[in-house]
Structure 1
Amino acid sequence: MEYLTETGVEFPVHANSVRIITTPKEFYDLIIERIGSANKRVYLSSLYLGSGKHESAIVDGLSNRLEETGSLEVSILLDFMRGTRGETEGKSSTTLLKKIADKAKIFLFHTPELRGVLRSVLGERNNEIIGLQHMKLYVFDDSLLISGANLSDSYFTDRQDRYVFIENCKELADFFCSVISVVGSQSFQLCSDGSKKLGTECVHHPFQGNAPEYCSSLRDGVLSILEEAKKRKNESIDGDTKVFPLIQMGMIGIDQEYQFLRKLFSTKEPSLDMTLASGYFNATEEYENLMLNEGDYNLKILIASPDANGFAGASGLSRYIPSMYSSIAAAFLAAIEKHNRKNVELVEWSRKGWSFHAKGLWCDRGNRIDTVIGSSNYGYRSLHRDLEAQIVVSTTNQNLMKRLREERDGLLEFSSVVDSRALRRADHHVPVLVSFLSKILRRFF
């Protein structure tokens, strides 16, 4: 437990208050249900909000609940570039949300890394490779729904993700509401006429001001939340289930997830069964070395097959992204063979008509399971470029461990082994140019 308790921030929860959601429809229905019953607050953090009927129903639900209660606090945090994509055509997150901007706080985080000539040269969509607000946190009163899923149609219908709902844990909900608020305070705020203004607390402009000073302000704000959370832990926390938040914001020097993964991936525990899932698996060189050279445990890595990649069927240059991930998978498979790691296996998820966006870790020790869930894909982007939020749920509760194993096995049910034979299939074909460019561009994915 050392690598968990070192963060100094932990929250006890009742095992029966941890609800594991397994389908996109359940995810959507829960959001609609909880918006409709919220009395105190609704805090939503996502990369973006889509513009279809499902998303309109979310905004309508918020609007109706704001009118019904009169005192409901609503804060929504999105990424600036992704949230404004399509705005000129009237099909963006901001287009849909401006109708409640006079009653709710709509924050748009703009990475300080995208500035100057770079901001002018990179067009819409391409500018998102520099860095994003990527946290997926959904708080309803004192309950937290954490996921890797965005608030968009495919995530409600046919894109498989992970979702854990922790009910009635005020301290945990308060913690993540504070994280959303602090990032929001250093972001743009959407006005009801569609314009964006910097909040009064944001004294350094994200892309026109001094970048180090902006990053320092954001860092100080996040660190103050972590320090405050540590203070509340004045006595030993008993119980069979605990939650440990992990905040990863590499651009401002906060790296809790990185410190956790370094220790986890270097674990020497041959009896440990670890499963890692990522829709966009792109391990850093350090993580790869720790998994294959330093660590010793049974490891199964679940990735998206080319047809289940979120960019499958895309137009323009994006259509080559599944091939790029196939190239990365092939390189990782070669590394497994080079290190002669017989207890490391690469498998891919495929389900007709569906895409795969699930991410997380299951560390099964028989008498305890630690599961990691949140927004991170454990790659270069998550480590250095994006704002990420995760939790580790650590439990010895027999019922919860059973449900976590069922969740893991349910995802693996749609998987098949990736080996040299699989890589020779047509769907895994990697054009020579893509193979070359993936070595250069993988730090942006």
Structure 2
Amino acid sequence: MAFWQDTPGFALAADNIRILTDAKQYHDELITLIRQAKQRIYITALYLQNDEAGREILSALHDASLANPSLDINVLVDFHRAQRGLIGEEKSEGNAKLYCDALEVSNSNVKVFGVPVKAKELFGVLHLKGFVIDDTLLYSGASLNNVYLHHEDKYRLDRYFVINQSRLADSFSQFIEQYLLSSEAVARLDKRPLPKFADIKLAQKKLMRDLKKAKYTFAGADCSNALNVRAFLGFGRRTNKLNRLIKSLFDTTEQELVLYTPYFNFPAPLLRSLRRLLRQGQQVTIVVGDKTANDFYICPTQPFSKIGALPYLYETILRKFLKSQHRFIKSGHLKVYLWKEGNNSFHLKGICKDNHTHLLSGHNLNPRAWGLDIENGILIEDPHKQILGDIEREKQAILANCRLLKGPEDVETLDDYPLPVKKLLGQAKRVKVDFIIKRFI
């Protein structure tokens, strides 16, 4: 028995789950759920952006509150991210300005909170996913802004699952209430003066200690041999149940492991497991975004910023992996797909094991998610493969914009990169800081 089966999951019927396949559907579903909400809305996201799509979502929340003052609406975003401008912009109140201004105008019961996972954003952020709206969980790795919600002509593709399970929704809500909203470190970001980190420093340290022991409740869970779902939390390198789950999914694969990740930079334990699976003859399929589909990519015709070197660094890691595992590519045991569609970006993450066990998560399967950010995930067990048709339709929609790599020669080398990127990556390698950088990306 796998370790995650020590506790039963929440039972599901196949029609309790819907899988959306594009960002516009995600936008429409979220707006519809907000407008129809009767009792509660809990939103946790890295950020809710001060742009057209972000303002639309926040306005919909305020409208829902004014129409139904008893509706409990809580929005939780990363404390640091919400109080800065975009990378490269001047210092400002960031997205918090939108939250304050919107509350002043509407005077509704919507509350926006900032969660300070770490003392500095570099060392970890709020990366919990899942929107609870009444008894529905809308689960996606996407945050809330123009590109994630496909506001105009550009989108960032993610995965989108709509799960109707009241006890699962209760579990998410109870976690937020028990561990986040109860903390003195989790402060309102929609009222001025905005909180400063120095004012909550001691409370933030306690919050970190508490979160490392936190978990989702399984009250009412009653299913272990049919379609079911469980929630997992991951924070820190030790006692991280989500990391343990991910490693176990790799290690217990009997036939095929399918992985989605936007940033090709597996933690060492997962890389060892992948190599072992391939040596044992299992099938491994990896779907990753092309470097031009990375959310950090900067077109060479635009002014260069150091952050724009990241997609190229990921590609160098990918090329090294392809080179080392070339024999398994030739044998057909390893398939690596690169996603690219116009000037859009790729943000998918998740695991499918043997066509019957599926992990949905914001976890990027990279060192940052493994040891710095706070992450969650939901595991769907489907022993009778009742939702496999929908899972496969999602997969084929993704692969429609992919190309299958035949080997390391199918991706560019350092010599092909723009001069600023070439110089920066070359310098990092010479002074041996590339190893350190890879631990933070």
TM-score (norm 2): 0.85
Q: Aligned partner of 2:364: which letter? A: N
Instruction: Summarize the alignment of residues 322-333 of structure 1 with structure 2, pairs less than 5 Å apart.
Output: 322-333=311-322
Instruction: Summarize the alignment of residues 279-428 of structure 1 with structure 2, pairs less than 5 Å apart.
Output: 279-293=262-276, 296=280, 297-313=282-298, 315-337=304-326, 342=331, 343-365=333-355, 369-418=356-405, 419-424=407-412
Residue of structure 2 in register with 1:172 after alignment:
168
Residue of structure 2 in register with 1:250 after alignment:
236
1:188 aligns with 2:186: yes
1:356 Cα shift? 0.4
C-alpha distance after superposition, 1:234-275 (max 9, x if no partner)? xx5266311121211116x44112111222222362xx1221
1:188 Cα shift? 3.0
1:91 Cα shift? 7.0
1:14 aligns with 2:37: no
Ranges in structure 2 where 5+ consecutive residues have no aligned partner: none
Residue of structure 2 in register with 1:144 after alignment:
137
Over the matched positions of the two proteins, sequence identity in percent amounts to: 23
Taking a change above 3 Å as real, the CA distance of residues 12 and 399 of structure 1, as seen in their structure-2 partners, is closer
1:81 Cα shift? 1.4
1:100 aligns with 2:86: no
CA contact (8 A) 2:83 2:92 kept: no
Residue of structure 1 in register with 2:2 after alignment:
2
CA contact (8 A) 2:83 2:96 kept: yes
Instruction: Summarize the alignment of residues 199-210 of structure 1 with structure 2, pairs less than 5 Å apart.
Output: 207-208=201-202
Distance 2:415 2:226 in 1: 45
Taking a change above 3 Å as real, the CA distance of residues 29 and 230 of structure 1, as seen in their structure-2 partners, is closer
CA contact (8 A) 1:362 1:408 kept: no
1:341 Cα shift? 8.6
- SS in structure 2 at match of 1:155: coil
Taking a change above 3 Å as real, the CA distance of residues 424 and 205 of structure 1, as seen in their structure-2 partners, is same
1:398 Cα shift? 4.9
Ranges in structure 1 where 5+ consecutive residues have no aligned partner: 115-127
C-alpha distance after superposition, 1:44-93 (max 9, x if no partner)? 00000111121111111111111111100011110011111229766732
Residue of structure 2 in register with 1:35 after alignment:
34
Taking a change above 3 Å as real, the CA distance of residues 340 and 164 of structure 1, as seen in their structure-2 partners, is closer
Instruction: Summarize the alignment of residues 84-163 of structure 1 with structure 2, pairs less than 5 Å apart.
Output: 84-86=83-85, 92-98=94-100, 99-100=102-103, 103-114=109-120, 128-157=121-150, 158-163=155-160
Distance 2:45 2:212 in 1: 20
Residue of structure 1 in register with 2:210 after alignment:
217
Moved more, 291-300 or 335-344: 335-344
- SS in structure 1 at match of 2:161: strand
Distance 1:50 1:268 in 2: 39
1:208 Cα shift? 4.8
1:147 Cα shift? 0.7
1:333 Cα shift? 1.6
1:336 Cα shift? 1.7
CA contact (8 A) 2:235 2:374 kept: yes
Distance 1:335 1:9 in 2: 40
Residue of structure 1 in register with 2:248 after alignment:
263
1:135 Cα shift? 1.3
Residue of structure 2 in register with 1:117 after alignment:
none
- SS in structure 2 at match of 1:173: helix
CA contact (8 A) 1:15 1:397 kept: no
Q: Aligned partner of 2:142: which letter? A: A
C-alpha distance after superposition, 1:375-424 (max 9, x if no partner)? 11111111110011111112145552101011112112211133222123
C-alpha distance after superposition, 1:343-390 (max 9, x if no partner)? 12222111112100011112234xxx2111121111111111001111
Residue of structure 2 in register with 1:431 after alignment:
422
Please provide the CA RMSD for this pair: 2.8
Q: Aligned partner of 1:38: which letter? A: A
1:139 Cα shift? 1.0
Distance 1:162 1:268 in 2: 22
Taking a change above 3 Å as real, the CA distance of residues 195 and 14 of structure 1, as seen in their structure-2 partners, is farther
C-alpha distance after superposition, 1:167-198 (max 9, x if no partner)? 2x111001111222322333332254333459
Taking a change above 3 Å as real, the CA distance of residues 432 and 255 of structure 1, as seen in their structure-2 partners, is same
Taking a change above 3 Å as real, the CA distance of residues 31 and 92 of structure 1, as seen in their structure-2 partners, is farther
C-alpha distance after superposition, 1:141-165 (max 9, x if no partner)? 1100111101111001111110101
Distance 1:397 1:196 in 2: 51
